[in-house]
Structure 1
């Protein structure tokens, strides 16, 4: 005769459910154990336990010091000086400078006219009427005249430019800065040169000496001297 088990009494029937319930209870107990806090019922341990004997406490007596009374200030009486009255009083009469019917009118020849303060030299970029290079006379606009002047200067340099053979043999090259002045009569003067070598400076001076006579610059209609600067570059090929 075989024994038959009652399925309702099988122990392994709900073992998974029991396992999760047990794990939940264990985790809950572990969380409560970690978060458990205890508090002291009294804070007597936090109080200082130092006891000071009464005889060691010294009371400092209050003392009062009386400052000496400052000596009284003796103020000298003011000195009164008696000034004698002026015997004679001279009154100054201020005459009126306004003209009236008796005022004499001076002639025009007696009136001094101030001279015009036109400077003797005006820079090229500031002058009212710039010097005119031959060939730029047909231009009426002053700014265009200045541009034409600079353009004609470049063409003049290109036309007369010669690289000295001695400078080529010596390997000389560089830029020569030139400053010259267009005089009141349109001629060229006061030429100043600065370059890397004397040979290049002489060649630049020769080019400037070939400049034609120009129409002088004018400031308020009066001819003035006009300085002008331009570089000439010598470069070996």
Structure 2
């Protein structure tokens, strides 16, 4: 068999290390050049001139204004001085004293009667108000206070509903409530206190069905009138 002859000067393995170093040097040079490469946008002379012309158009034109003429100097009038002759009688005015008269009696605060203004009444209790609120149907009653209380009891009995949930839980007791008949006759400012929220909600529902009333009056002026009443929840 014939063996392939190799020429010593054509062997690439002999200089592979040198070729590797040269290749790495070229690659690093290209990478550095790419990173350091900078470009700038060129601006044409035409764009610059257009910007300058645009700025010149924004400058307002010069205007010449005429100033008004200066005011004329005022004429100074010299007062005429007359010298009185010695024979003229000079009338002197008496100078009144500004000091207080020590003989005049000084009035003390106790001697002056001050009338205290009547207090502004905004709310009066149902038990002491002069004209109680009128429940619908009590307009012709002789005792409107008693009629109001009677109508309230009838309203509670007519609208009373024992909540089923309260019956299942065995809830019972009294719900103390207070509401206010406002100056316009509407019901407002409801306050409740009871053994359970379910019973309080039922009492609130009953009061919400109250009709509009004629407002109470104190000294002929409409005022707010608070009214308190308990609602009893009792299981049979």
**TM-score of the two chains, using structure 1 as the length reference:** 0.52
Structure with higher Rg: it is 1
Whether 1:193 aligns to 2:211 is: no
Q: Which residue of 1 aligns with 2:169?
A: 170
Q: Which residue of 2 aligns with 1:119?
A: 121
Deviation at 1:92, TM superposition (A): 3.2
Counterparts of 1:152 and 1:92, CA distance in 2: 71
CA RMSD of aligned residues (A): 2.4
Deviation at 1:117, TM superposition (A): 2.4
Counterparts of 1:91 and 1:230, CA distance in 2: 70
Is the 1:183–1:224 contact (alpha carbons within 8 Å) kept by the matching residues of 2?
yes
SS of corresponding position for 1:228: strand
SS of corresponding position for 1:147: helix
Is the 1:118–1:219 contact (alpha carbons within 8 Å) kept by the matching residues of 2?
no
Counterparts of 1:131 and 1:169, CA distance in 2: 39
Deviation at 1:205, TM superposition (A): 0.0
Counterparts of 1:114 and 1:92, CA distance in 2: 31
SS of corresponding position for 2:189: strand
Deviation at 1:93, TM superposition (A): 1.6
User: Where do 1:36-115 residues align within 5 Å?
Assistant: 92-93=100-101
SS of corresponding position for 1:203: helix
Counterparts of 2:148 and 2:204, CA distance in 1: 19
Counterparts of 1:137 and 1:115, CA distance in 2: 34
Is the 1:185–1:215 contact (alpha carbons within 8 Å) kept by the matching residues of 2?
yes
Q: Which residue of 1 aligns with 2:33?
A: none
Q: Which residue of 2 aligns with 1:158?
A: 157
Counterparts of 2:120 and 2:127, CA distance in 1: 16
Is the 1:131–1:218 contact (alpha carbons within 8 Å) kept by the matching residues of 2?
yes
Count of aligned positions: 131
Deviation at 1:96, TM superposition (A): 7.8
Deviation at 1:91, TM superposition (A): 6.1
SS of corresponding position for 1:155: helix
SS of corresponding position for 1:134: coil
- What CA deviation, in whole Å up to 9, does each residue of 1:23-47 have, x standing for no partner? xxxxxxxxxxxxxxxxxxxxxxxxx
Structure 1 ranges of 4+ moved more than 2 A: 94-97, 113-118
Q: Which residue of 1 aligns with 2:138?
A: 136
Is the 1:119–1:224 contact (alpha carbons within 8 Å) kept by the matching residues of 2?
yes
Deviation at 1:227, TM superposition (A): 0.3
User: Where do 1:176-215 residues align within 5 Å?
Assistant: 176-215=175-214
